[in-house]
Amino acid sequence: MRPRHVLSAALLGITASFSAFMPAAGATTPSHRVREGSIGWGQSADALDVRDQSGTQDTWNNYVEFAPAENGRHVSVFVQSFDEIGDSATIDLNFRGPESSETRWLLRVRNYADTSWENVFINDDIDEWTWTPRSVTLDNPADYLNPNDRMVFVWVSNNDLEPGQLDHFAVTMSSTSTPVGPPTSGDWELPPTNAQFDYQISQAYTPPNGVSVVSRDWFDSAPLAGGYSICYVNAFQTQPDGDGSRPDEKSQWPQDLLLLDIGDDPNWGGEYLIDLSTANKRTRAAQHIEQMIDTCANKGFDAVEFDNLDSWGRFSDEPNAPTLPFGEAEAVAFAELITDYAHSRGLAVGQKNTVELTAEQSLEIIGFDFAIAEECGQWNECNGYAAVFGANVVAIEYSDAGFSRACASIGASSSVVRRDVNVTAPGSNSYVYDEC
C-alpha cells in the first residue's frame, strides 16, 4: 500500500535543479528532468542533497516522491557534469517504496564505452516503505562520461501502481583525480574533418567519386556503405503531408503540438512549426521524434542533424510577422532533450545552422558534436561556426559566391560543398555539385 500522501497532478516535463545539492569533487551542479510522471506537490529536488530519513520516517519536505504518469510509468533523467575524473565513482541513494513485485523502481547509468545501460539499483530485497540506503561503486568512471563529461542516469518505474521515494542521490568521484582533457566522443563517432561531403537529403544516390560523408533522409534512405552517414530529421517543423506513411508529416503529428494558426513556413510550403512553448509540449514532441532517432540508429547511421533549430526566428521577416509562443530558450531546451536521446542511441549530433547560439549553449547545454551550416559563406558566418566547433563543420552553399567565400574561410580544414538549393540527384536539370 502507498503512504497516506496524496500524489500531485501530473507535471509532465517538469525541470528541477539540484541547486542545493552538494556537488561531488570535481563536479558541477547536476540537473534533473521528469519525462513521464510527476514529483510530489510542494517538494523540491534540493531535498536530495542530504540523507536525513531512516526507518519509516515520513518528513514530506525532506525527500522527493516520484509518481508514475496515470496509466503509464515514471521516467526521470539525472545528469551530472564533472570537471575532473577520479579512479572510481560512487553512487549513493536512499530509497523508500514498494517491493518490486508491486512496482519495480530501477536506476540505470549509461556506459558510453560499451554502449549499454547498467543497472545501479533495483528495489529487490527491501522492506517495503522503509528507507533503504544503497551505495554502488563504478570502476573506470571515464567509461560513463559522454563527450561533455556528463554522467546520465534514468530513474524509471515499470507501471503506474506505486510511487517511489528518494531521500538522497549523490555521485562522488574518488579523491585521486586527473584533469579532464578536451571533449572526446563516447560511443559515437564524429564525422571526419575536411572529408569530401555530399548533401542528399532529398534523394539518395551514388555519390561522386571521393565522397566519404553524406547526409540523407531518415525515412527514405539508407546509410552510405563504407562511409560516414548523417541522418536528416526535420525536428522543429513538420514535413508536408504526403501519403500518411511518414510520422513526421503534418497529419501524423499530435495536432495540438502544431502551430497551425501561424501558417506554414514562408519558404518551404507545407511545413508547420512544432509548439515548444511549455515543458509538457517539449516532452511530448521529443517523444514523437524518438521514433525517428530510433530509425536512424537501427539503420546504422552514424549521426543525426535536427533541422530548423532556428525556427523561432524564421517568420520574423514576413510582412505580418506572427508572434510565436516560444523563443530561443525553448528551442534550446527542446534541442537538449532530443540530443540527449540521440546520444543514448549512439549517434553524434550536428547543430543545424543557428550561428547565433553561444558556445555554452551549443556545447555545454545542448551537447552538439559538430555543425552543419547552410550558406555560411553567403552570409559570412563560417568563422562563427569554426570558433565553436573547430574543424568539425560541414558547410553547404547554394550559390557560387557563397561557395567561394566558404572555401576561402574554412575550406582548408572543413568540408565545404556546392549544391543546388533543391539538392536534386544527378540527371536533374538543376543538379549542381562541387567541393573545395
The DSSP result for 251-272, as a single string, is GGS-GGGB-GGG-S-SSSTT--
**In this structure, is residue 3 part of a structural domain?**
no
Instruction: Write the DSSP symbol of residue 46.
Output: G
**Is 340 within the bounds of a domain?**
yes
Q: How confident is the model at residue 11 (pLDDT cuts 50, 70, 90)?
A: very low
Sorting pLDDT into bands at 50, 70 and 90, what band is 5?
very low
- Give burial (CB, 10 Å; 0-12/13-18/19+) of 290: middle
| 334 and 230 together in one domain | yes
Task: Give percent above pLDDT 70 in the chain.
Answer: 88
Cell readout for 46 is 534540493
Residues 362 and 279 in one domain: yes
- 383 within a domain of the structure (yes/no): yes
208 & 135 share domain: no
163 and 231 within one domain: no
The C-alpha cell that represents 18 in the structure block: 539540484
Higher pLDDT, 256 or 26: 256
Domain count, the chain: 2
Strand ranges inside 364-436, DSSP E: 370-374, 393-397, 415-419, 433-435
> Which pTM does this prediction carry?
0.60
* Residues 226 and 325 both lie in one domain: yes
pLDDT: is 27 or 360 the higher one? 360
Phi, psi of 201 (to 5 degrees): -75, -15
Which of the listed residues 112, 144, 179 is the one where a domain comes to its end?
179
Pair (116, 211) in one structural domain: no
pLDDT for 86:
81
pLDDT-derived band at 319, boundaries 50, 70, 90? low
pLDDT at 8 over 60: no
Domain-embedded: residue 5: no
pLDDT tens per residue, range 213-242: 999 999 999 999 999 999 999 999 999 999
The secondary structure of residue 62, as a DSSP letter, is G
Q: Are residues 223 and 147 in the same domain?
A: no
pLDDT tens by residue, 362-407: 998 999 999 999 999 999 999 999 999 999 999 999 999 999 999 9
Same domain flag for 143 and 248: no
Same domain, 238 and 128: no
Cβ contacts of 41-45, under 8 Å, gap ≥ 24: 41/6, 41/7, 41/8, 41/9, 44/16, 45/16, 45/17, 45/18, 45/21
Residue 150 pLDDT grade (very low, low, confident, very high; cuts 50, 70, 90): confident
Q: In this structure, are 223 and 363 located in the same domain?
A: yes
161-176 burial: b if 16+ Cβ within 10 Å, else e: ebbbbbbbbbbbbbee
Range scoring the smallest mean pLDDT among 76-80, 180-184, 405-409: 180-184
In a domain, 7, yes or no: no
> Would you state the pLDDT for residue 148?
75
**Nearest of 236, 257, 237, 224 to residue 339 by alpha carbon:** 236
Asked if the structure places residue 186 within a domain, the reply is no
Distance from the first to the final alpha carbon of the chain: 68
Q: Are residues 174 and 60 in the same domain?
A: yes
Residue 318 pLDDT greater than 70, yes or no: no
Boundaries of domain holding 427: 197-435
Domain of residue 408, CATH code: 3.20.20.70
Structural domain includes residue 10: no
**Which among 179, 213, 235 is the end of a domain?**
179
217 and 270 co-located in one domain: yes
Domain end point (choices 130, 149, 179): 179
Q: How confident is the model at residue 10 (pLDDT cuts 50, 70, 90)?
A: very low
Domain for residue 62, yes or no?
Answer: yes
Q: What is the CATH number of the domain that holds 130?
A: 2.60.120
C-alpha cell at position 237: 517543423
